[in-house]
Structure 1
């Protein structure tokens, strides 16, 4: 699949995440997606696990991620430079940082995501 298609998938995924539209976000992911638990550590596998992770996370935190730049390496992994702001529901900013999300795709869907601090 071309880079352009991957970028469209990622744009849809970020928009859905920021809108708290879990079903729309999961539609961009492979059923066996491997996802980092950036909140408490470890990884979650599959749609049900991501749904549970995000639902629990959003009860306590209000993260917002804005993709800034997207590149693809020779192995087809897509790196997205992201501006991430995490607040609590009292309006206190807990994190305001630039990070990288690194994606692997399978059949046009997100198969794996990793977080890299920069």
Structure 2
């Protein structure tokens, strides 16, 4: 999923998602729900931003995965807007990502 996300392959990302996925929309602070809504969000995001996401550590949790991710956000000119490490908490439903939460990585 992360390799596809980093190259803007929205259909490949969506193929990893549960039909009723709950996904963050960080710029508004809200969330989007469902594969079509996530696809629209990622497509729109790709018009202005280029994300590079590299998993650094993956840990199993009770209902999914905790993934420490090196995240670089660039504008369309390639200028770095953000270079940070984040924690993605993935809830798994029926073998697919049912929810993504983004937070601070553990110390």
Contact 1:39 1:57 in 2 (8 A): no
SS at match of 2:68: strand
Greater share of strand residues, 1 or 2? 2
Q: Which residue does 1:49 correspond to in 2?
A: 37
Structure 1 length-normalised TM: 0.84
Contact 2:92 2:98 in 1 (8 A): yes
Mind listing any 5+ residue stretches in structure 2 that lack a counterpart? none
Alpha carbon RMSD of aligned pairs, Å? 1.1
Q: Distance in 1 between matches of 2:13 and 2:80?
A: 24
SS at match of 2:66: strand
Structure 2 length-normalised TM: 0.92
- How many equivalent pairs are there? 105
Q: Which residue does 2:104 correspond to in 1?
A: 117
